[in-house]
Amino acid sequence: MSSTLDIVNGDLFSLAGKTAVVTGGSRGIGYAIAKAFVGAGARVIITARGEEALKTAAAALGPNALGKQCDNADVAAIGRLMEEAWQLGPVDILVNNAGISPYYKRAEQVSVEEWDEVVDVNLRGLYFSCVELARRLFACGRGASIINISSVGGIAPLERLGVYSATKAAIHQLTRALALEWAGRGVRVNAVAPGWVETDFTNDLFASRHGERLLAEIPMGRLATPHDVVGAALYLASDASAYATGSIVVVDGGRSLR
């Protein structure tokens, strides 16, 4: 059992000697989490679809970071990613951060193609990332921490983001289901549900005619920054949360209280 001194010294939150995979890690929340993990002593593999952004991000993270191209909508690519990551050493932490919310539309305006795109990246890709890692962990009897980045939209539906909200609600239930299945095998599965976070998408949205109304719905009165999400991810990745599984950690400035 960790002592008070361990907590004060930060040992409880150390990731020294661990390997993490962070999907969608070239920018935003994913990059902020990857940077924090490197700072806590982990070796980090980040993924993204864009090769140049990936190279730039990995270089900025330093020698303990590596970039791997992967389209989260491509299940075969996810399998190849996990195999390549595993060949570098067993994976101790998986952060499923890759996700999209490209359409701010009423439900009747969303096309089948748009539905498929959001569901494939946000839900199907996340599911198979979990499964591909779990298969390798179970084969050698290792444990790990899986952290799924969801959204306040999975708790409090977001108008004009119905498909996105549906995928995030599904992630919460999937997180609990996998946590229940895998708890006895040493694999913890938790989720972080951020509120509105500063990104290119939200900056444009909050600058539009909808911005004032959306901001008024946040009790803390501001958007989150990617850094605001880091603490929850570090907690769930580290031994500080060794007895936590199936949890949804909400980091939304109070938005879900409305």
pLDDT digit string, tens, across residues 33-88: 999 999 999 999 999 999 999 999 999 999 999 999 999 999 999 999 999 999 99
Q: What is the pLDDT of residue 9?
A: 56
- DSSP annotation of 96: E
pLDDT at position 149 is 98
Model pLDDT for residues 156-213, shown as the tens digit of each residue: 989 999 999 999 999 999 999 999 999 999 999 999 999 999 987 788 899 999 999 9
| Domain-embedded: residue 229 | yes
Mean per-residue pLDDT over the chain, rounded? 95
For 184, counting Cβ atoms within 10 Å of its Cβ (0-12 exposed, 13-18 middle, 19+ buried), the class is: exposed
Rounded average pLDDT over 23-28:
96
Confidence of residue 248 (pLDDT cuts 50, 70, 90): very high
Amino acid at 167: T
pTM of the model: 0.95
What CATH number is attached to the domain comprising 58? 3.40.50.720
Distance from C-alpha of 216 to C-alpha of 234, rounded to nearest angstrom: 29
pLDDT at 220: 97
Per-residue model confidence (pLDDT) at position 1: 44
For residue 199, the model assigns a pLDDT of: 85
More confident residue, 169 or 9: 169
- Residue 145 confidence (pLDDT) above 50: yes
Domain residues for the domain of 230 are: 4-253
- pLDDT at residue number 200: 79
Percent of the chain's residues with pLDDT above 70: 96
Whether pLDDT at 2 is above 50: no
> Under a CB-based contact definition with an 8 Å cutoff, are residues 135 and 67 in contact?
no
d(CA 121, CA 227): 23
Residue 216 belongs to a domain:
yes
Q: Is residue 143 part of a domain?
A: yes
Closest CA to 104 of 149, 169, 159, 165: 159
Domain count along the chain: 1
104 is catalytic: no
Q: What is the pLDDT of residues 115-128, one digit of tens each?
A: 999 999 999 999 99
CA-based torsion, 32, 125, 191, 143: positive or negative? negative
Q: How far apart are CA 125 and CA 145, in angstroms?
A: 18
pLDDT band with cut points at 50, 70 and 90 for residue 223: very high
4 pLDDT above the threshold of 80: no
Burial 189-205 (b: 16+ CB within 10 A, else e): bbbbbbbbbbeebbeeb
Which range is least confidently modeled, 201-210, 221-230, 234-243? 201-210
Residue 187 belongs to a domain: yes
**pLDDT value of residue 71:** 97
Rounded distance between C-alpha atoms, residue 196 and residue 255, angstroms: 9
Q: Looking at the domain assignment, is residue 20 inside a domain? A: yes
Position 7 scores a pLDDT of 52
Give domain status of residue 151, yes or no: yes
Strands, sheet with 93-96, edge to edge from the N-terminal-most edge strand: 65-69, 43-48, 19-22, 93-96, 144-149, 187-194, 248-251
For residue 144, is it within any domain? yes
Catalytic residue among 127, 164, 235, 243: 164
The closest of 233, 143, 223 to 191, measured between CA atoms, is 233
Nearest to 202 by CA among 134, 252, 244: 252
- Does residue 258 form part of some domain? no
- Name the token pair of 128: 């198979």
The reported pLDDT for the residue numbered 103 is 87
